[in-house]
Structure 1
């Protein structure tokens, strides 16, 4: 399937393909529809995580929280257990499985958080003629742990994770302006320029996703990333957590325009 074909699919059509076993990063899929990060935790840990998200709205902008045990909601007429291309399962903070569905892990006390994703504003960047390199390259967006700490909440704490897109220096202001209009999906960049200021030592070695080329005259631009909750899970070690595999998002039935300011 070409990216043009993927962009033309409805969310329901895309989720059906993922239920049938297709594993792929979802950047560029279902043009005009909002993609979400997923974090699922037991009810006992859910309040700490909700407070963590409230204290760190740039990396953790909450779009919806499902009732304990619920697998669908107003933004998703599907099933959070099967409708993501790939999931990660953490037990006591350790990654124990990457899997295309998580029904065997499901419990009635699990609370699902849908968190905004920067893939939502990539169409707007493209419309403003700002290049999106990982789409051009057909790969996953590069993501990096930083030395910047998020505000802790109860037992939940960890580092900020960022995604990076190289932008021509003359277009950085355009990238900031476009993405600032989407605060519910990470909004404006958190840093422009020197990766070392975030504690990133090698752009060619992302912690998640794939490295992309930074061409002469381009500046690395960093946005807060919804993989931050997974970094917090690895550090805080709740007994169970289920998340999307980085870059393999939950495609919701909400419209990107719903989150445009």
Structure 2
């Protein structure tokens, strides 16, 4: 299993997306397709898309918006060649009326002519910079999904979207904390600098061994808990919004784009109320 994962880590984004589209690769994407931007995904009816865009604008740390589809068009052409939002993510979560209803590897059968897809920056992108700086990341070294927690930090509401901010956790050696902050702040489209460092109780987390999403990490030794705003935050917001249907990536299972991880993403956003027209 470990050997297979190490081989997959050498694949480029094109080979990896093809494997995902074929249903051959369905696991997490941490540490994969080095050099390319990974994104969280949220898909909903155009009726709610403008409110969601406002939600992202008002909460840029957990929701850094990097791409928006045309209404009804599943191809994310601003993020790369032949990216089909219905088939190119290893696993999707399907919410109905704010409740997680199903998980599946392909949403072609669920796609609607009024759907709009949003791509939001992901912390997996800056992790490669941390690794390049010889900063160990336990979840990547152990082939697990980064742990994520709901905090007591409120987001700024927009329409029906509101809720608590979600954070991802990495345990960092005290001597590396300053470097981690300096490195990650250079990736604003991947959540930027940490949201909180140190005592998890200050942001409403009571037990680091019990993440709400992802897998536990080792918390032994003198390492410092460092928390970044997380793109699972929209999944919390939709619990309150209670939309009839809302589709996201499964946490840790991201869309891998063709955009270089250090590139400035073009402003190819669309008007979610206009079919097939870009702004």
TM range (shorter): over 0.9
Measured in 1, the distance between the counterparts of 2:12 and 2:176 equals 31
State the match for 1:236 in structure 2: 241
Q: Which has the higher helix share?
A: 1
Contact 2:145 2:215 (C-alpha < 8 Å) held by counterparts: yes
Structure 2: runs of 5 or more not aligned: 266-279
Tell me the TM-score normalized by structure 2: 0.91
Contact 2:40 2:122 (C-alpha < 8 Å) held by counterparts: yes
Among 75, 79, 83, the alignment partner of 1:75 is 79
State the match for 1:172 in structure 2: 177
Measured in 2, the distance between the counterparts of 1:98 and 1:259 equals 32
1:205-244 equivalence runs, <5 A: 205-244=210-249
Contact 1:59 1:224 (C-alpha < 8 Å) held by counterparts: yes
Measured in 2, the distance between the counterparts of 1:69 and 1:55 equals 25
Contact 2:160 2:240 (C-alpha < 8 Å) held by counterparts: no
Measured in 2, the distance between the counterparts of 1:129 and 1:218 equals 15
Measured in 2, the distance between the counterparts of 1:200 and 1:231 equals 16
Tell me the TM-score normalized by structure 1: 0.97
CA RMSD of aligned residues (A): 1.2
SS at match of 1:8: coil
Q: Could you tell me how far 1:130 is from its partner in structure 2?
A: 1.4
- The range that moved more, 165-174 or 15-24, is 15-24
Measured in 2, the distance between the counterparts of 1:74 and 1:152 equals 27
Tell me the alpha carbon deviations over residues 205-231 of structure 1, each in whole angstroms, 9 at most, x when there is no partner: 100000000231200000000000001
Q: Could you tell me how far 1:7 is from its partner in structure 2?
A: 2.4
